[in-house]
């Protein structure tokens, strides 16, 4: 059974690009574009890994990350953060909030794929 990735992002073109890359690698890709309902969606979908944008309508990615880390069922969930705000303090903020991996936009497709694979070993990879 393929592993599931949830992409929380509000730019339609970026959603499409990430979906294409991960689907081709065998991942089940779900997308969500609203910050306010993002946490509920994570709890409902129970993805294996989350790709999270920072500047989302309604709620910031940092806040979503903190909320997820406070809940037992998502406290260890692998979360890859992608942001167009590439300053050092943004990275710090994300790491303090408990991010699993942090990447700035624009990214190379291979890097995103590697990062996701590193966070969640694919089926049959390590076993």
Binding site for other proteins (CB under 8 A): 10-14, 16-18, 20-21, 24, 33, 55, 57-58, 84-87, 104-110
Which two structure tokens, joined as six digits, stand for 26?
Answer: 């065998």
By C-beta, is 69 or 104 nearer to other proteins? 104
The distance of closest approach from Cβ of residue 96 to other proteins in the complex, given in angstroms and rounded to an integer, is 19
Distance between start and end Cα atoms, the chain: 14
DSSP letter for each residue of 109-124: HHHHHHHHHHHSPPTT
By C-beta, is 72 or 106 nearer to other proteins? 106
The distance of Cα 81 from the centroid of its chain, to the nearest Å, equals: 5
By C-beta, is 11 or 69 nearer to other proteins? 11
By C-beta, is 75 or 87 nearer to other proteins? 87
The distance of closest approach from Cβ of residue 107 to other proteins in the complex, given in angstroms and rounded to an integer, is 7
> CA 113, CA 81: separation in Å to the nearest integer?
13
């Amino acid at each position: 059974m393929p592993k599931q990735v949830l992409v929380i992002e509000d730019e339609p073109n970026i959603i499409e690009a990430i979906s294409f890359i991960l689907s081709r690698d065998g991942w089940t890709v779900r997308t969500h574009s609203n910050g306010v309902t993002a946490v509920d969606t994570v709890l409902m979908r129970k993805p294996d890994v989350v790709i999270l944008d920072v500047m989302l309508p309604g709620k910031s990615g940092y806040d979503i990350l903190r909320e997820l880390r406070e809940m037992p069922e998502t406290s260890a969930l692998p979360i890859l953060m992608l942001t167009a705000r590439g300053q050092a303090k943004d990275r710090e903020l994300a790491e303090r909030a408990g991010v699993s991996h942090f990447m700035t936009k624009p990214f190379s497709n291979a890097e995103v794929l590697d990062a996701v694979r590193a966070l969640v070993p694919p089926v049959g990879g390590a076993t």
